[in-house]
A = this chain, B = another copy of it.
């Protein structure tokens, strides 16, 4: 037994004997306890705060005397005066061991903090960003040892960080000498460490001790919307979020029209590259001013996006993505200076682009895979990111399959007669009384149902302007449950349905959801709207089925709906329409913007990068365009679920009437055939 005092750290439980006088930080480092320090124990950064405990600890077998740590010292006094030290806290680099002691490392003093995610089925993120700050004191120049200022700085940084090599961004060469002198030979350095084995790089430098943390941006570069989250890389906290319309929209609403624009207009791809980069710069400025931070502190940016956006952002003509075999110029993850992507940001800032899975399944899907981790799931999970294209992942610990399915924009309210984007005034929820066939609905901006008292007043400013994606799903599903719609997707006549809300409208019938008022006209669901949703849901369902076939299963254990649309969709209504495979309702969850979350994970945890790169390489990619079975499924999937399988769970939950008012043939392919004729 050593006669040196015993030091026990909680919550890790690591313990060891240390000579009297050993600083707590030193003891922690020797034991491998996760205790932060930017300034290397100089009493400047206060990152190494610890909480000593005194008294009897029978569990640990020690008694801690009141003087087990050295007395409060001048450095701690000064720090407390200037910035305040919480009661019971000490600075780990100043307090020294004097006797047996139990020391708690609070969560905020740990380097590898856990960033907690709210959803039960997802893992927390271990904070371990690519960029870290280090304060060092640098040897002054000496004529007799004439190494450069940079080389002496690197020597100090290597000693402080333990890195064997550190390379340097060239933009630092010019300001280097004045920074060193301004800081009186002390500087704070940002070091970016990409993948393991890559040489860490010095990417930013400030004179003296620089208290502000490094920030990072996670950006989801969507076809329609660009969304960014600004994170404090020392806490993992999201400080600000911002979004804007993708300025490329003026070149085409959907991706294929942008690819066409590039093909039809010489230099068109570069115009779009410039547009999206300009938009990003606007976003970066907005988010920095929103969080009231200096843009120069943003040192890492992670991007997710679909393949066409990926290529256009990188300045690559997306031509090849518009035609078989949909060859990506590059599929692997990329790490490069953000300025090379036209970002007006600190010269040392690095951009990381998640890998693309395939020509139709982009880095956004990789983000979803990183966030939802199907590869780590014990049960078989289907993850669907619903957008203009649906990216679909199916898998568990045995393996993951992926495909993309061309759902088109109907789920976003396009191609729907009264459709609109999700915005105040849009109908988002619908219920139809199965007996009276009378509807009630909610519009975005109010919690009242249309039948509630005060509804008219509540919507006075917005009006009822249309129906958004989740609203259209609900109304069609409700129509189906109320017996207004047969399994082939045809709306019954007033006679057949017993309500004059159904009315003849050309060769088919329509359903009047809202009568309109002086400001806005009536909102009607036409048979064309039903058809559009049938096509979209058939594409989605066929993709999922195709992956299930490949996997050799006919059911999944759970379903995750990702994307903004997925966040608002009602699982029951989606299943009534046959959008997703049969599954217990409580096993259908929403992941929100999982692609963006994936970007945030890759921003906060550097180990997540090789992890998703490996997963993407291992994912089995299925190209729906050349799979005969996809076409087969698609033809069959346009019908709405009926008494036939494969929806036993659904049928146990809801009671689907099977009206006999078929006029155009009630088999599953009716809609398809009609479309062909039309």
Known: A170-B340, A314-B173, A316-B173. A329 touches B626 (CB 8 A): no
Query: Would you give the 0/1 interface string for A615-639, flagging 1 where the beta carbon is closer than 8 Å to chain B?
Result: 0000001010110000000000000
Chain B residues positioned under 8 Å from A331 (CB to CB): 146-148, 150-151
Q: Bound state CA distance, A331 and B316, in angstroms?
A: 38
Interface residues of A in 600-658 (CB under 8 A from B): 621, 623, 625-626
Report which residue of A177, A178, A315 has the largest number of chain B beta carbons within 10 angstroms of its beta carbon.
A177
- Closest B-chain residue to A178, C-beta based? B317
Q: Mark A146-179 against chain B: 1 for CB-CB distance below 8 A, else 0.
A: 1111110000000000000000101001101110
Which of A137-145, A260-268, A564-572 is near enough to bind chain B?
Answer: A137-145
Chain B residues positioned under 8 Å from A168 (CB to CB): 330
Please, how many angstroms separate the alpha-carbon atoms of A356 and B147 in the complex? 9
Query: A residues 122-149 with Cβ under 8 Å of B?
Result: 141-149
Asked if A336 and B170 sit within 8 Å, CB to CB, the answer is: yes
Partner of A316, one of B143, B177, B314, B623: B177
Q: Name the residue in A143, A145, A320 with the highest tally of chain B Cβ atoms < 10 Å from its Cβ.
A: A143
> How many residues on chain A are close to B (CB under 8 Å)?
45
Residues of B near A320 (CB, < 8 A) are 149, 177
Which chain B residues border A142 with CB–CB below 8 Å? 325
**Closest residue of B by beta carbon distance from A331:** B148
Tell whether A386 is near chain B: CB-to-CB under 8 Å: no
A503 lies within 8 A of chain B by Cβ: no
Residue of B nearest to A340 (CB): B170
CA A336 – CA B148 in complex, angstroms?
18
8 A Cβ contacts from A327-341 to B: 327-332, 334, 336, 340
**CB of A625 to closest CB in B, whole Å:** 7
**8 sampled A-B residue pairs with Cβ under 8 A:** A143-B325, A143-B623, A143-B625, A143-B626, A146-B327, A151-B332, A176-B316, A177-B329
Residues on A lying within 8 angstroms of B by beta carbon are 141-151, 168, 170, 173-174, 176-178, 314-317, 319-320, 324-332, 334, 336, 340, 356-359, 361, 621, 623, 625-626
Other 5 A-B pairs with CB < 8 A, given A170-B340, A173-B329: A143-B359, A145-B621, A149-B327, A149-B328, A151-B330
